[in-house]
């Protein structure tokens, strides 16, 4: 007589259970992160910014030497970097912001086509774009051999006042990888959404070029896709935000910026940050969904080991 196939036991869905069990894929204590940063070895100088055009400069980099690229290029909208649309004092904005004089598609192809060669097989790239030239950016990505994993919207708090159209208050952030089967992704949050609400920061009285990204935005990219000690390239350094985010997060950086007047701003910004100044182990960061789950299962969570928590949850999950 043939034995009846055993019925698979159905797991009952328990709201917030997965959040309770969430752990970052990889985590490092402050000391472990510092040691990875200090002991990382490279065949070329790192933690430097070259004041030159990134397109020919990227050709000098060896094959597969970069872990992560963060690229926030000029958007090709005739922006001159001295705008005062947010009532900012134009005296505090550095001149010489390089907008794109050539055809935007040609420029975009030129730099995006250089990324795949220099990325490690586990590497990834984060590309910022406004919506007006997004088509050119997506076309260049299609031709580049990189794979688009996520199309993230960065929503910030306000944009330029308009009378007969909606106020633009978002950028596109494209998350690309060299090899979709091998890319490094550290899931540091239980439920990371693809819309990121992060305020722009306007520091009163501080000299900068007018397109500065918030450090926390760049740090979010770096946190999810690199390890302490990794090397991050920013071909369009601007105010040096990526360099500052890297230094403060125990990552190394390399960058290009065509406008030599930014050197003073970048050096000052970097001088204000100690290595690891922003680094907090991922398991010690706030994750509202995880906190909610811990509140819900509070007593069991506080008094038990991981295995005991699991056993208790399993005992609630009947047929
Ligand atoms: C949108 S801004 C980058 C802002 C930067 N993410 C920040 O947070 O400060 C673009 C920068 O790219 C620079 N740039 C333009 N063309 C370049 C090129 N071919 N090579 C290197 N830098 C370039 C501009 O001078 C400008 O500083």
Structure tokens at 237: 């350094």
Report yes or no on 4 lying in a domain.
no
Alpha-carbon dihedral angle through residues 8, 12, 17, 18, given to the nearest 10 degrees: 50
* Most ligand 1 atoms within 8 A of CB, residue of 74, 93, 101 to mutate: 74
Q: What is the pLDDT of residue 209?
A: 59
Q: What is the pLDDT of residue 318?
A: 45
CA of 149 to the centre of ligand 1 (A): 24
Q: What is the pLDDT of residue 319?
A: 39
Q: What is the pLDDT of residue 18?
A: 85
Q: How far apart are CA 215 and CA 248, in angstroms?
A: 10
* Most ligand 1 atoms within 8 A of CB, residue of 99, 258, 261, 269 to mutate: 258
Q: Measured from the CB, is residue 269 less than 6 Å from ligand 1? A: no
Q: Give the atom of ligand 1 at the shortest distance from the alpha carbon of 240.
A: 9
Q: What is the pLDDT of residue 78?
A: 55
Report yes or no on 18 lying in a domain.
no
Domain count, the chain: 1
Query: CATH number for the domain including 242?
Result: 3.40.50.150
Residue 235 and residue 256 in contact, taking contact as beta carbons nearer than 8 Å: yes
pLDDT in tens, 47-78: 999 999 999 999 999 999 999 999 999 987 55
User: How many H-runs (helices) and E-runs (strands) does the chain carry?
Assistant: 12, 8
For the chain, list residues with pLDDT below 50.
79-89, 318-319
Q: How far apart are CA 52 and CA 234, in angstroms?
A: 12
The domain containing residue 267 runs over which residues? Answer: 26-303
Report yes or no on 211 lying in a domain.
yes
Extended strands (E) in the chain? 48-50, 66-71, 119-129, 147-155, 170-177, 195-197, 231-234, 252-256
Report yes or no on 5 lying in a domain.
no
Q: What is the pLDDT of residue 40?
A: 98
Q: What angle do CA 115, 222, 191 make, to 5 degrees?
A: 115
Q: Give the atom of ligand 1 at the shortest distance from the alpha carbon of 234.
A: 6
Model pTM? 0.87
Q: Measured from the CB, is residue 98 less than 6 Å from ligand 1? A: yes
Report yes or no on 152 lying in a domain.
yes
Report yes or no on 313 lying in a domain.
no
Q: Measured from the CB, is residue 228 less than 6 Å from ligand 1? A: no
Report yes or no on 200 lying in a domain.
yes
Nearest to 134 by CA among 152, 115, 149, 114: 152
Beta bridge partners of 49: 255
Residue of the nearest CA to atom 3 in ligand 1?
Answer: 238
Angstrom distances, CA of residue 23 to CA of 100, 134, 299: 44, 35, 19
Report yes or no on 1 lying in a domain.
no
């Amino acid at each position: 007589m043939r034995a009846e196939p055993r019925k698979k036991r159905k797991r009952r869905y328990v709201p917030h259970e997965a959040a309770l069990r969430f752990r970052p894929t990889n985590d490092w204590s402050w000391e472990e992160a510092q040691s990875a940063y200090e002991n990382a070895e490279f065949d070329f100088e790192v933690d430097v910014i070259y004041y030159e055009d990134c397109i020919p400069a990227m050709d000098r980099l060896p094959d597969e030497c970069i872990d992560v690229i963060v690229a926030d290029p000029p958007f090709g909208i005739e922006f001159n970097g001295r705008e005062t649309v947010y009532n900012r004092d134009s005296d505090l904005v550095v001149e010489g912001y390089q907008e794109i004089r050539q055809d935007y598609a040609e420029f975009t192809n030129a730099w995006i086509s250089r990324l795949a060669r220099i990325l490690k097989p586990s590497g990834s790239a984060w590309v910022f774009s406004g919506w007006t030239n997004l088509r050119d950016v997506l076309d260049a990505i299609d031709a580049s051999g990189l794979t688009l994993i996520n199309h993230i919207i960065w929503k910030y708090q306000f944009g330029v006042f308009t009378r007969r159209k909606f106020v633009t208050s978002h950028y596109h952030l494209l998350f690309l990888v060299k090899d979709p089967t091998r890319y490094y992704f550290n899931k540091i949050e239980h439920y990371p959404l693809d819309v990121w609400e992060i305020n722009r920061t306007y520091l009163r009285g501080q000299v900068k070029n007018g397109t500065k990204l918030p450090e926390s935005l760049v740090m979010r990219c770096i946190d999810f896709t690199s390890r302490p000690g990794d090397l991050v390239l920013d071909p369009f350094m601007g105010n040096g935000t990526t360099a500052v985010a890297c230094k403060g997060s125990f990552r190394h950086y390399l960058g290009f910026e065509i406008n030599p007047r930014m050197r003073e701003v970048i050096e000052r910004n970097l001088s204000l940050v100690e290595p690891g100044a922003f680094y907090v182990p991922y398991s010690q960061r706030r994750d509202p969904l995880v906190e909610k789950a811990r509140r819900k299962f509070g007593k069991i969570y506080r008094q038990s080991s991981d295995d005991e928590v699991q056993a208790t949850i399993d005992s609630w999950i009947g047929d």
